[in-house]
Amino acid sequence: METLGRAFADALGLLWGLDAALLETVGLTLRVTLVALTIALVLGIPIGAAIGLARHLPGRWLLVPLIYTGMGLPPVTVGLFTYLLLSNQGPLGGLGWLFTPAGMIVAQTIIAFPLVVGLTMAAVQGVDPNLPIQMLSLGATRRQVATVTLLEARVGVTAAVVAAYGAIISEVGAVMLVGGNIEGETRVLTTAIVLETRKGNFALALALGIILLALAFLTNFAFHRLQVHQGVR
Partner 1 sequence: MTSAYELTDIRHSYGDRCVVDIPTLSVRSGEILGLVGPSGAGKSTLLRLLNFLETPTTGSIAYAGAEIDGDVSLATRRDVTTVFQRPMLLRRSVAANVRIGLNLRGVETKDRSTERWLDRLGLTDLADAPARTLSAGEAQRVAFARALVVEPSVLLLDEPTGNLDPYNVGLLEEIVRSDSAERGTTVVVVTHDVFQARRLADRTGLMVSGRMIELAETRAFFSTPQRPETAAFVRGDLLM
Alpha helices in 72-128 (DSSP H): 75-86, 101-125
**In this structure, are residues 178 and 86 in contact, taking their beta carbons and an 8 Å threshold?**
yes
Nearer to partner 1, 52 or 114 (CB): 52
83/128 Cα distance (integer angstroms): 43
Least Cα distance to 115 among 52, 162, 79 occurs for 162
Q: What residues make contact with partner 1 under the rule CB under 8 A? A: 128, 130-131, 133-141, 144, 148, 151-152, 154, 230-233
Helix axis angle for 202-232 and 189-198, nearest 10°, is: 150
Nearer to partner 1, 63 or 140 (CB): 140
For the chain, the maximum distance between any two Cα atoms, rounded to a whole number of angstroms, is 69
Nearer to partner 1, 49 or 169 (CB): 49
Nearer to partner 1, 68 or 223 (CB): 223
Closest approach of Cβ 123 to partner 1, in Å? 12
The distance of Cα 101 from the centroid of its chain, to the nearest Å, equals 15
Least Cα distance to 73 among 35, 117, 114, 32 occurs for 114
Closest approach of Cβ 172 to partner 1, in Å? 38
Nearer to partner 1, 38 or 134 (CB): 134
192/204 Cα distance (integer angstroms): 9
Closest approach of Cβ 129 to partner 1, in Å? 9
